[in-house]
Chains A and B, each alone.
Chain A
Amino acid sequence: MYSDEELSSLLKNPDTQRKAFEYMVGQYNEQLYWMVRRMVLNHDDANDVLQNTFLKAWNGIASFQGNAKVSTWLSRIAINESVDFLRRQKNHGVVSTDDDMSIANTLMADSYFDGDETQALLQEAIAKLPDVQRTVFQLRYYDEMKYSEMSRLLDTSEGSLKASYHIAVKKISEFFKSHD
């Protein structure tokens, strides 16, 4: 098991790069998958976004300076890829406004979604948030990420992240209260 510093230096050395990258994929794939899956919701989409994330990391390995932690570097690429995917989906009109095809109903019909109706509604409420609030909510609510770490990851001030999270929580609470 390599430390972050060891992995950084192995990734920068052309002789050990591929082996270190393979180790890194094994080390972080599950953590990144769940981060991406909660953003894009569907397993096949999450798989595509995750594979693209690792390919981007491989192709941009020269730009990895080792100043940031490997996990921060990868998470940043994964979040950017997820947000890009969601924007493309919106631009192509994939997100339906039809009640029968609502996000909650789509999730309830998904064989890789084990939640109940309340959890499906939570995912729908999260999906309705703007990109930044959506990302901040996922990282804080599910991953319980510290604001200081989130600040490094998203390159945004802690104060602004806290504000985004509280607005997101308020919107989702109001969504549920309106459904009670």
Chain B
Amino acid sequence: MKRQSGMEEEKYLIERVGKENPFRVPEGYFDTLTAQVMARVDASPQPVPSVEKKKAKLVRLRPIHYAVAASVCALFISVAAYVSFNSSSVDSAVQQTVAQQETYDSFDAAADYMMVDNEAIYACLSSDY
């Protein structure tokens, strides 16, 4: 049997079934379609301009600020508890000095690691979000 080319198969299909549109729509459908679409458009929020989209990205990043603030607070409370516990021992004065030094070092190291400074932390803690 001879193998049919793509063109011949398309021709066969057109002859066999044609290209007529077998579908129809309810009476007057297209007369009211624009009004129906615009009613839904008007009920939906105004399209967001592209400039405001960038702001939305910043808002989405807020949880990271929360996480940084919470981590810094947790670190601060842990160190304070540690200092308080050690201050009751016999050579508390010496240990407290060491602990304070450690506190300072740990805090600095954490702040450096997270690339935040005091100003950023205060700004974050006093933020409305």
Chain A residues close to B by CB (< 8 Å):
14, 17-18, 21-22, 25-26, 29-30, 33-34, 37-38, 41, 43, 47, 50-51, 54-55, 58-63, 107, 112-116, 118-123, 141-142, 165-166, 169-170, 172-173, 176
Residues from chain A with a CB closer than 8 A to the CB of B29 are 47
Most chain A beta-carbon contacts within 10 A, residue among B17, B23, B34, B36:
B23
Closest chain A CB from B46 CB (angstroms): 9
Closest chain B CB from A65 CB (angstroms): 10
- Cβ of A112 and Cβ of B30 under 8 Å apart? no
- Cβ of B37 and Cβ of A29 under 8 Å apart? yes
The segment from B48-56, B92-100, B111-119 found at the interface with A is B48-56
Residues from chain B with a CB closer than 8 A to the CB of A29 are 30, 33-34, 37
Q: In the bound complex, what is the Cα–Cα distance between A118 and B23 (angstroms)?
A: 14
Quick check: is B102 within 8 A (CB to CB) of the other chain? no
- Cβ of A113 and Cβ of B47 under 8 Å apart? no
26 intermolecular pairs with C-beta atoms under 8 Å apart: A17-B47, A18-B41, A29-B33, A33-B30, A34-B21, A34-B23, A43-B23, A43-B25, A43-B26, A50-B37, A51-B36, A51-B40, A55-B44, A59-B44, A60-B47, A62-B49, A62-B50, A112-B25, A112-B26, A113-B22, A114-B24, A119-B22, A141-B19, A142-B19, A142-B21, A169-B9
Residues from chain A with a CB closer than 8 A to the CB of B48 are 59, 62
B6-36 vs A, CB cutoff 8 Å, 1 = contact: the mask equals 1001101100111111111110011001101
Residues from chain B with a CB closer than 8 A to the CB of A50 are 33, 37
- Cβ of A119 and Cβ of B41 under 8 Å apart? no
- Cβ of B38 and Cβ of A112 under 8 Å apart? no
Interchain residue pairs A-B with the least CB separation, the first 5: A115-B22, A166-B6, A119-B22, A62-B50, A173-B9
- Cβ of A58 and Cβ of B47 under 8 Å apart? yes
Q: In the bound complex, what is the Cα–Cα distance between A14 and B38 (angstroms)?
A: 16
Q: Pick the contact of A25 from B38, B47, B50 — CB < 8 Å?
A: B38
Residues from chain B with a CB closer than 8 A to the CB of A116 are 22
- Cβ of A25 and Cβ of B34 under 8 Å apart? yes
Known: A63-B50, A173-B13. A58 touches B23 (CB 8 A): no
Q: In the bound complex, what is the Cα–Cα distance between A63 and B51 (angstroms)?
A: 11
